Structure 1
């Protein structure tokens, strides 16, 4: 039978992994299928029956929670076990050691072997590896674009530090929006906020953390400080995905309604596309505020200013 579409697979996984649906019949009802058809469709798509997939992912979640200090009793109940002893036996069979001997938290250290690359990744995120069918790696070009973006945002924030509230909060582009879900970005402060913090919600999804609160009205100095904290994490994530050739992998954000999957390559492209647009808008707004001494945004010139040209004219 044909494999379900990516969106349909997300819906099936959501039905199988929902906390309120521990039994196969409940899972099937959540997917609007019979138990037979749910088992058939999910097994065909993932190579793993629904009950087995749920049990494994919940054990991965349990390991993730234990690594972060949760009590064994609480974790066992949350994983659907009636007793700590039953949970400990299942945990030991899966991981090869009891819960009390779990090593400290490491990246993906809570994952179990899986036939499909589907793993628990954080409180509201499911990680879906692409397997062997990888997209071609982006090479050094992507890292250069990310580093250029980071440096240019830094330059724009530094150039804005001496501006007062009147210049920062003046409506310079009435009705301007970059994306529908981010709302209006009519002032320089609004554009700078999205530039400095644009990767923060994505990092929360990618790192399996909780969603950050809405930033509100933040000073330029605070935006610059947070940009300096977020940028190394963002660059490290790009380098890690590139090293693993994992741009075809995906995360499923369960906080979206309905849950939505994002391929890692899509995330990087999204961030760079809209950051580039905002950087040009911020330059225009800064010019209207009287700030004109800004570095040229051309990545070729940035690359040369950063000293990345060798004497033979080759780019490192």
Structure 2
């Protein structure tokens, strides 16, 4: 007799196919939702809904790399829309599910793992793997970067609902965020600079040509550009953190003359101006009669961890336009 493994019972309840909400998980473990969440969070450092969401994405990545369809993987992971799944997958892995690379053996298993301080991961075909030497991304950096990307998407979606006149109306005459980037006087111009900043720095880091930035992009254009840049930006920051490359120097040949930048300062630069632009856009959206919320990272993190989200499919699936 090995005795009762209560933690394993709780984890089994999290990953049971039929348990998609916190209430269902708790019932499967014969516990109240409060007790279930408190014990699992204490013992693993991760809330149940957030753990299920992450492990289900890891399983989806494995399914796709085994030749499964993206649609089937999305359904099995609990997402009610392919768009919601694709967005969550891209945000997590830094590339779209359709671009998942093929690998074999140990490299395949570990290439599907997402950062997790507790080392708990999906292990094919239906098990868990506990990796005891996990090196998670710095949680503050991770939260700052992902909050910026998610909040930007929220604002862009709100901007899509504006008329062209409201989107491009000059509301802050002469307003400049930085002295070298010119005026940002409308919701349209601020969001274009906001998205374009990441595109330019990505080009410098990746050694690519300066990206094309068409005049007068629509809000839908900016959504597409953001979704592409967001995945790449998250992957870059995670790679810098993984390698401990914060002090590495980037020689930016796109500057005239070429200039060197410390990678840590580049990321701090992007986050600083991003926060300013997001809150400025939020203020202008309110002036246009749009409820843009507060953009509070505290509330965002609670949703991310599932503290107030019963159903991960509802939270990250069909309700995102």
Q: CA deviation at 1:239?
A: 0.4
Corresponding residue for 1:234? 233
Contact 1:296 1:302 in 2 (8 A): no
* Alignment equivalent of 1:301, drawn from 299, 303, 318: 299
Whole-angstrom CA distance in 2 between matches of 1:256 and 1:196: 19
Tell me the equivalent position of 1:260: 259
* Structure 1: runs of 5+ lacking an equivalent: 1-136, 311-316
- Give the gaps of 5 or more residues in structure 2: 1-135, 309-321
Q: Offset of 1:254 from its aligned partner?
A: 2.1
Distance 1:185 1:156 in 2: 16
Match of 1:164 in 2: 163
Matched, 1:273 2:272: yes
Alpha-carbon distance in structure 2 between the residues aligned to 1:284 and 1:181: 23
Count of aligned residue pairs for this structure pair: 174
Provide the C-alpha distance between the structure 2 equivalents of 1:273 and 1:299, rounded to a whole number of angstroms: 14
- Contact persistence 2:200–2:210 (CA under 8 A): yes
Q: In the aligned structure 2, how far is the partner of 1:147 from the partner of 1:213?
A: 25
Instruction: Decide whether the 8 Å contact of 2:169 with 2:186 is kept in 1.
Output: yes
1:304-315 matched pairs, under 5 angstroms: 304-307=302-305, 309=307
Give the SS at the match of 1:198.
helix
Helix, strand or coil: the match of 1:182? coil
Is the contact between residue 157 and residue 223 of structure 2 (CA under 8 Å) also seen in structure 1? yes
Supply the distance in 2 between the matched residues of 1:200 and 1:287 (Cα, whole angstroms): 27
Give me the whole-angstrom Cα distance separating, in 1, the residues matched to 2:205 and 2:258. 15
Is it true that 1:184 corresponds to 2:183 in the alignment? Answer: yes
Q: Distance in 2 between matches of 1:215 and 1:138?
A: 35
8 Å contact kept, 1:195–1:278? yes
Secondary structure at the counterpart of residue 252 of structure 1: strand
Structure 2 partner of 1:24: none
Match for residue 288 of structure 2?
A: 289
Distance 2:258 2:280 in 1: 32
Q: Is the 8 A contact 1:155 1:295 kept in 2?
A: no
Aligned to 2:76: none
Aligned to 1:206: 205
Task: Give the C-alpha shift of residue 165 in structure 1.
Answer: 1.4
CA distance in 1, matches of 2:269, 2:137: 15
Whose radius of gyration is greater, 1 or 2? 1
